[in-house]
Amino acid sequence: MAGDIRKNRVSQAIHRFLGSLMISEYGGTDISMITIQRVKVTQDLRQAQIFYTFFGNKAVSVIQSQLENEQKQIRHKLARHLKHIKFAPEIKFIYDKTAEEIMRVQRILDEHRSEQDKNENE
């Protein structure tokens, strides 16, 4: 079992590598438009959940299927990059809805403020 420090280092290494990989290998495609938000690695370093956001014209389901189609190649490239660990982790891409939720709450707060300002001016 890996300690928390090693787990965090592997997580950060995956995060940095995937961020640059999306631009260098997939530049000009829809996949290059994703942003890796965070990477969560299991304690045994065998699995990694990659949380991403996407702000583009395509549906998230289309991007998710493209990522799943490229998952094997991405893992292979990741394995070559992570030479300091015995096994390359299985990767799973998960859409992170946090940014959407923040924008939704912000819109609600803005609407509430504008209603309050409107009521104060009357």
Nearest-angstrom CA–CA distance, 20 and 56: 19
pLDDT of residue 101: 86
**Is 112 part of a structural domain of the chain?**
no
The amino acid occupying position 36 is I
**Is 120 part of a structural domain of the chain?**
no
Q: Is the pTM of this model over 0.95?
A: no
Please state, rounded to an integer, the average pLDDT across all residues of the chain: 89
**Is 30 part of a structural domain of the chain?**
yes
**Is 110 part of a structural domain of the chain?**
no
**Is 69 part of a structural domain of the chain?**
yes
pLDDT above 70: percentage of residues in the chain: 98
- Give the CATH number of the domain where residue 71 resides: 3.30.300.20
**Is 62 part of a structural domain of the chain?**
yes
Sorted by sequence, the CB contacts under 8 Å of residue 39 that are 6+ apart come out as: 11, 12, 14, 15, 18, 48, 49, 50, 51
pLDDT in tens, 72-111: 999 999 999 998 888 889 999 999 988 788 888 999 999 8
Residue range(s) defining the domain that contains residue 68: 4-97
**Is 105 part of a structural domain of the chain?**
no
pLDDT in tens, 21-44: 998 988 888 888 899 999 999 999
- In the chain, the number of structural domains is 1
